[in-house]
Structure formats: C-alpha cells, structure tokens
Structure 1
Amino acid sequence: RVDLNKKIQVNIPITITGTAPAVWQLGGTLLQSLQSISVQILPLNIPGKFVLDVSSLETFENSLFVKDVQITEGIDINDELETLVARVMPPRVEEEEVAITEEPTEAGDVPVVQSDVDSETEEE
C-alpha cells in the first residue's frame, strides 16, 4: 500500500529536445550518458519524464549535467548534480592508409641490424 503523503524513490526518464549546434555544424555525435534521474517525490506528483534541451551544446567542450535538467519544485534529486547527462563527441577521424610508393627491394638489398642482446650472446 502506498502512502500518498510520503515521498517515494523513483527513476524518471530524461527526454532530449532541441538540436545541438555541435552536431549539425561540426559533425559531432550526441552522447546521452544518463537515461534517467533517481528522485524522491510524492506519488501523485511523479512526472512522466524530465526534459533536457541540448541547444546549448555549441562545441565539443560543452556538456550538460543533472543540474541542467528542467526539474519542478518538490522533487528531491538522489543523483549527484554534476553527473554528466549529455555532450557532443567529435567525429572519429580515420587514419588514411599510407600508400607505399617505393619499389620492392630484393632480399640482398635489405640491411641486417643486430640487436645488443644478440651481440652479448655471441661474446659469451
């Protein structure tokens, strides 16, 4: 039985809204690292979701935290306010394969390098 006058602990999902400029201008990828926020709330006041607007993510250095989520009064947050919720990751830069332009050498043209370990073994 639930006491309607006593706060309970629930997880509320986070919904992302808006468009992060770092995604469409810089080619980044939006990363949402936290899907829900743990809160203490009266049973009749439980929201269906929290909303987080990512329109302020203009660079890869910008991040949004639990403290940036729109939360109404009367809700006690259990999570740390500095917990990362969303950021934009820079695009992956794949290294181009370097084309070998030198002609293959014959086996006799390859210099042999002897390591110090081999030298010490031979001297004993």
Structure 2
Amino acid sequence: MIDKDMPVLTMKIVNQLTHLSARQIRYYEANELISPSRSEGGQRLYSIHDVELIGQVKLLIEKGFNMKKIKEELDRLNRSAQKSADETSPQYIEEDFSTNYIKKVLSGESREIPLTRGDLSRFYKQKK
C-alpha cells in the first residue's frame, strides 16, 4: 500500500509529472488550491495526493473554470469526500491524473520520457 499523503516529491518531479511550470504550481499554492509541506530547509515537498490535486486543477482550468469556481469545486469535493469515502469523482474530473499519466506511458501513447528513464530510474528495474 502506498501512502498518498507522504510528502516526498520535489518541485522538479512535480513539474515533470504535471507538465506545469514551477510558477504555475506556486500560483495554485498562492490561491490556496494546494498546500505542499516544507522541508526543514524550506523546500516544497509534494505528496501523490498533491500531484493528483494539481492534475484536477489543471483539468478544470482547461475546461474554462476560473480560480474562484475551482476553489468552490474543490471545497465541495472535500466536503463530499468527508461525508462518504465511497463517493465517486465529480463529473468534471474524468480520471485521476496520475493513473491517466501512468496508463499513457505504459501503453506507449506518451512521447514523453517515462519515469523509468529520468531522475527516478534508480527506483525501477530496467528491462533489457
């Protein structure tokens, strides 16, 4: 089981996973859409849950939502998630971002460098 709330991902990794610039991610933080943890040195650390949330925000922006509406939607999601752990995703968010990304990389649809060939390669066995 993976702890999706453990903050271990740096800004660089989140940039690669979300295809957003550090400035865009900091903008989401300034608008209180995400709240990354901080290391002792002040470096932002993100969890898998944070990356999924960033992906949801990105999808909502692409669908034309403004920051106020996105914040309302995320608040509504948080309230409904607290009421029922079994509730499904809202109609605006087709599938969680990380699952979508992983499916694209594994199927070969993505032309991007997969995680197995980047900074995280030491964590994966390479096929020969």
| Alignment TM-score, normalising by the size of structure 1 | 0.23
Bigger Rg, structure 1 or 2? 1
